[in-house]
Amino acid sequence: MAKGPRRDLSKERGWREVISGQAKSGLSVRAFCLQRGVSEASFYAWRRELARRDDVAGEASPRADRPSRAWQQETGLCRAGQTRGRTCHGWERHAPT
């Protein structure tokens, strides 16, 4: 038997779109969230949770506090210092490969 509440896949899909949209927008998280009427705290919580879910699914590194490699490639974000780009809270935007 499954533990915990069931996942709302439509909510997860929606947040994946929001997070991907922010990365593609070129806006800071704060500016994007203000523009979209989204809580900044919820944005960061969902970004962390989705990275954890991706990691659990075996798509990336074991660290739950960082986005998965697949998510980084999809959104064009990577850890500061790995490429040149605009830095925001330790993450840089670059063109996806």
pTM (whole model) above 0.85: no
Res. 46: pLDDT tops 90: yes
The pLDDT of residue 61 is 44
Going from N- to C-terminal start, the domains of the chain cover: 10-93
The pLDDT of residue 11 is 92
Tens-place pLDDT, residues 1-28: 556 667 788 999 999 999 999 999 999 9
Overall residue count recorded for the chain in this entry: 97
Tell me the C-alpha distance between 67 and 23, whole Å: 12
If one compares 56 and 27, the residue with the highest pLDDT of the two is: 27
Tens-place pLDDT, residues 29-44: 999 999 999 999 999 9
Q: Which stretch of DSSP H or E encloses residue 18?
A: helix 9-25
Per-residue CA distances from 2 to 7, 13, 22, 97 (Å): 11, 21, 33, 37
How many other CB atoms are there within 10 angstroms of residue 36's CB atom?
14
Tell me the C-alpha distance between 40 and 35, whole Å: 11
Task: Please choose, from the candidates 87, 91, 95, 79, the residue with its C-alpha nearest in 3D space to the C-alpha of residue 24.
Answer: 95
- The answer to whether the beta carbons of residues 46 and 15 sit under 8 Å apart is yes
